[in-house]
């Protein structure tokens, strides 16, 4: 449906992209670009080694922040509290539910890191959108899609990905490229990501699935072994630059996307270290505030709150494997210590939140959104 003018403008042929196959391409890379990418890879590995030995909850925190940031690149925003509520099935926020899907996609990417192939991409996409758009998961797109322009037709679009008949071959090819072992890793990841976004193999969810692929490749190549470094948060500081870099790649220039991915890694590491410091300080304050044995339910609940900052007594009982009354006693103790506060009104279906953790996560997102100098 559309106005007669728009319908007339939509008549006639249009040009869809025909991306080159890259699986066996020889990359002629300038030395300075290789140096920047290798520096970024080393810093990612160093950060992973630094925070890896920390308490397990920090790994879950970074996974959540990467998923939220990747969604925000697509303008899908959600507060830390709404995301925490969605994770326990207590939020009606559509965006928060979509971010929860993104967490699942990231988890799938990491689980499949040693076997990245087209089937792995389909699994990531299914994890992302099975709840919200089940009709488009499990297969490549069977229709033409386009970016920008109107909804009537591809005419006037900013970019028209390849015709759907080309998608299977292109996806086989890019995943072969992703499994190569003869390229600087960050260069390889940047190119694979840009090629994936150029193919645009799905009607929806391409950006989020493509950034999940980045995490899968970081883990599969051994750059990271312990945590999900929130690279998407590094992209948030200049999303326009990120999209320009993708456009440049489609025009044959790989430098901008490699530089963008490298700079995103550096920004993510700096922001991640700030978050790690904040979480560590909060955890230390909590440990000092709770006067109980280190193996008590109250102390054990502190570790749960780091990765799940909104809880019910049922969740506490399940996580700690204690009775309902014991779970309530632990919640009451942390509430009396000022660590928890009730987040809803009334005595039925009560929920408690660790406000300090929620604030630290929201502060992480705010820092990520600040435009980088020179961007």
Domain assignment present for residue 225? The answer is yes
Domain assignment present for residue 374? The answer is no
Q: Which residue has the tokens 């692929």?
A: 213
Residue 322, pLDDT > 70, answer: yes
Measure the CA–CA gap between 113 and 117, rounded to whole angstroms: 9
Shared domain for 247 and 282, answered yes or no, is no
Shared domain for 307 and 234, answered yes or no, is no
Shared domain for 257 and 334, answered yes or no, is no
Shared domain for 357 and 246, answered yes or no, is no
Measure the CA–CA gap between 269 and 43, rounded to whole angstroms: 8
Quote the domain boundaries for residue 107: 17-273
**Residue 164 per-residue DSSP state:** G
Identify the three-state secondary structure at position 139.
Answer: coil
Domain assignment present for residue 183? The answer is yes
Give per-residue pLDDT as tens, 191-202: 999 999 999 999
What CATH number does the domain containing 117 carry? 1.10.3290.10
Sheet holding 310-311: strands in order across?
310-311, 352-353, 341-342
Question: Total structural domains in the chain?
Answer: 2
For the stretch 247-256, what's the b/e string if a residue is b when 16 or more beta carbons lie within 10 angstroms of its beta carbon? bbbbeeebbb
Give per-residue pLDDT as tens, 289-307: 998 787 899 999 999 999 8
Measure the CA–CA gap between 100 and 95, rounded to whole angstroms: 9
Give per-residue pLDDT as tens, 164-191: 999 999 999 999 999 999 999 999 999 9
Shared domain for 169 and 287, answered yes or no, is no
Last residue of a domain, one of 273, 295, 328: 273
CB within 8 Å of 220: residues ≥ 6 apart: 113, 114, 116
Shared domain for 106 and 230, answered yes or no, is yes
Summary mean pLDDT of the chain: 92
What pLDDT is recorded for position 291?
A: 80
What pLDDT is recorded for position 55?
A: 53
pLDDT band at 372 (very low <50, low <70, confident <90, very high): low
Shared domain for 312 and 267, answered yes or no, is no
Shared domain for 187 and 201, answered yes or no, is yes
Measure the CA–CA gap between 216 and 155, rounded to whole angstroms: 35
Domain assignment present for residue 346? The answer is yes
Residue 11, pLDDT > 90, answer: no
Q: What percent of the chain has pLDDT over 90?
A: 80
Measure the CA–CA gap between 308 and 358, rounded to whole angstroms: 10
Domain assignment present for residue 368? The answer is no
What CATH number does the domain containing 290 carry? 1.10.10.10
Domain assignment present for residue 293? The answer is yes
Domain assignment present for residue 8? The answer is no
Cα-based angle 66, 68, 69 (whole degrees, multiple of 5): 65
Shared domain for 326 and 201, answered yes or no, is no
Q: Which residue has the tokens 């319908």?
A: 7
Residue 45, pLDDT > 70, answer: yes
Shared domain for 165 and 255, answered yes or no, is yes
Query: Which element (helix H / strand E) includes 347?
Result: none
Q: Rounded to two decimals, what is the model's pTM?
A: 0.91
Q: How many CB atoms lie within 10 A of CB 68?
A: 30
What pLDDT is recorded for position 211?
A: 96
Shared domain for 221 and 337, answered yes or no, is no
Measure the CA–CA gap between 49 and 227, rounded to whole angstroms: 9
Measure the CA–CA gap between 223 and 49, rounded to whole angstroms: 10
Last residue of a domain, one of 273, 302, 321: 273
Shared domain for 206 and 178, answered yes or no, is yes
Identify the three-state secondary structure at position 181.
Answer: coil
Domain assignment present for residue 132? The answer is yes
Q: Pick the closest to residue 306 from 290, 334, 283 (CA basis).
A: 283
Last residue of a domain, one of 248, 273, 298: 273
Do 269 and 47 contact (CB within 8 A), yes or no? yes
pLDDT band at 28 (very low <50, low <70, confident <90, very high): confident
pLDDT band at 154 (very low <50, low <70, confident <90, very high): confident
Do 270 and 276 contact (CB within 8 A), yes or no? no
SS3 labels along 35-72: HHHHHHHHHHHHHHHHHCCCCCHHHHHHHHHHHHHHHH
C-alpha Rg value of the chain to the nearest Å: 22
pLDDT band at 54 (very low <50, low <70, confident <90, very high): low
Structure tokens at 312: 């019910």
């Amino acid at each position: 449906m559309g106005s007669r003018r728009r319908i007339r403008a939509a008549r006639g042929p249009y040009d869809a992209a025909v991306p080159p196959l890259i699986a066996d391409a020889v990359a002629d890379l300038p030395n300075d670009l290789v140096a920047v990418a290798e520096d970024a890879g080393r810093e990612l590995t160093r950060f992973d080694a630094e925070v890896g030995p920390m308490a397990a909850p920090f790994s879950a925190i970074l996974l959540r922040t990467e998923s939220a940031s990747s969604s925000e690149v697509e303008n899908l925003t959600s507060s830390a509290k709404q995301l925490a509520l969605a994770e326990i099935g207590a939020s009606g926020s559509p965006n928060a539910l979509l971010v929860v899907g993104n967490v699942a996609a990231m988890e799938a990417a990491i689980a499949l890191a040693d076997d990245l192939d087209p089937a792995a991409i389909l699994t990531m996409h299914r994890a992302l959108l099975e709840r919200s758009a089940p009709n488009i998961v499990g297969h490549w797109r069977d229709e033409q899609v386009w970016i920008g322009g109107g909804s009537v037709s591809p005419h006037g679009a900013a970019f028209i990905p390849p015709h759907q008949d080309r998608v299977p071959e292109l996806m086989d090819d890019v995943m072969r490229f992703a499994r190569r072992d003869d390229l600087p890793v960050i260069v390889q990841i940047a190119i694979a990501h840009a090629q994936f976004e150029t193919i645009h193999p799905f009607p929806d969810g391409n950006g989020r699935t493509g950034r999940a692929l980045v995490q899968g490749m970081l883990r599969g190549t051994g750059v990271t072994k312990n945590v999900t470094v929130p690279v998407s948060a590094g992209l948030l500081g200049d999303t326009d630059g990120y999209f320009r870099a993708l456009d440049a790649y489609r025009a044959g220039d790989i430098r901008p996307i490699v530089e963008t991915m490298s700079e995103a890694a550096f920004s993510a590491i700096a922001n991640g270290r700030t978050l790690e410091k904040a979480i560590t300080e909060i955890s230390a304050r909590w440990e000092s505030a709770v006067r109980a044995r280190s193996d008590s339910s109250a102390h054990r609940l502190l570790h749960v709150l780091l990765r799940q900052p909104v809880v019910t007594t049922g969740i506490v009982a399940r996580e700690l494997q204690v009775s309902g009354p014991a779970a309530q006693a632990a919640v009451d103790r942390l509430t009396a210590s000022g660590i928890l506060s009730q987040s809803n009104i009334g005595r039925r279906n009560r929920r408690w939140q660790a406000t300090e953790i929620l604030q630290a996560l929201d502060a992480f997102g705010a820092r990520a959104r600040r435009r980088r100098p020179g961007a």
